[in-house]
Amino acid sequence: MADAKTIIAARAGLELKDGQIINLGIGLPTLIANFVPEGVDVVIQTENGAIGVGPAPEPGCEDRDRANAGSQPITLVPGGSYFDSATSFAMIRGGHTDATFLGTLQVDEKGNIANWIVPGKMLAGMGGAMDLVTGAKTVCIVSEHCARDGSSKLMKQCTFPLTGAEECDVIITERALFRRYPDKGFVLEEVAVGYSLDDIAACTDMAYAVADDVKLDAFGAE
C-alpha cells in the first residue's frame, strides 16, 4: 500500500486535463508532476518566475539561477520561459492559470481555505497562496484527511485565518474526493480503497452530500 501522500498525488494527477496551465504548491502538490496521465500534456508555472517547468535536473547539473518557489532546482521544457514577479502574478491573478493544487491546514464546507498561519506559531507568511486561490480557475486542495491530532481538516468552519474565502473547488485526501457545486456545496464523489461511506462520515466534520453514483474503491489501490 502506498503512503497517503502518494495516493493523494496519484489521484490528483487524474484531475489534470490536456493543455492546462497549472501551479503546484510546495510539498505534497509538487509530487503531482510525477502522476500526469499518459496522453495529457500540462504546462507547469512556478510563481517565482518560470513557466514550462520540467523534471528536476540530474545531480550535479543544478543551476543556481533555475529554481522553483520552494527553492528546488528545476529544468525547463522546450518552450518554457522566465519572467519577473509582477508578470508572474498577472498570469495567476489575471485568470490565465487553469488550476492550482495546494496543501492545507483547514478547509470548510463553504470552500474557505486556511493554509498560511497557525495562530500563536511562528509566522511564515502566505507567499503566493492568496493570489493563487483567488486567481486560478480551479482550486484543488490536496491534503491528508486529518490533522496529526486526528481531528478532521475538513471542518464546518475554519478556525485559522483564511487564505481565501469560498475558493476551494475540489478536495482530494487519501480517503475521499469531494467536489463543490454552486447549488449543492461539497459532494462526496469518490471513496478510496479501505474506507466505507461510514468511515468518511466519521472523519469528516464538514457537511456534504453523497453523490448518487458515488464510487467506492475509486482510488488508492496499489
Partner 1 sequence: MPKNKVVPIEEAMSHVKSGMSIAVGGFIGQGDPLTLIDHLKTMDIKDLTIYENDAGFRERGNVELVKQNKIKKIVASHVGTTPEIGKAMNEGRLEVEATPQGTLAEMMRCGGAGLGGFLTPTGIGTVAEEGKQIIELEGRKYILVPALKCDIAIIRAHSGDTWGNLIYRGTSRNFNVPAAMCAEYVIAEVENLYTLGELDPNAIHTSGIFVDAVVRANVEYCTIKEEKYNG
Neighbours of 84 (CB within 10 A): 10
Asked if residue 164 binds partner 1 (CB under 8 A), the reply is yes
Task: Give CA–CA dist 214/190, Å, rounded.
Answer: 6
Residue closer to partner 1 by CB (options 18, 63) is 63
Residue closer to partner 1 by CB (options 76, 193) is 76
Cα Rg of the chain, angstroms? 17
Which of 38, 122, 198, 222 binds partner 1 (CB under 8 A)? It is 122
Given the residues 15, 47, 189, 190, the one annotated as active site: 47
**166 is known as an active-site residue:** no
Residue 74 to residues 13, 20, 144, Cα–Cα distance (Å): 20, 20, 26
Within its chain, how far is the Cα of 10 from the centroid?
Answer: 12
Asked if residue 123 binds partner 1 (CB under 8 A), the reply is yes
133: three-class secondary structure by DSSP: helix
Asked if residue 88 binds partner 1 (CB under 8 A), the reply is yes
Q: What is the contact surface with partner 1 in residues (CB under 8 A)?
A: 46-50, 63-69, 71, 74, 82-89, 92-93, 112, 116-117, 122-131, 134-135, 161-166
User: Which residue numbers are catalytic?
Assistant: 47
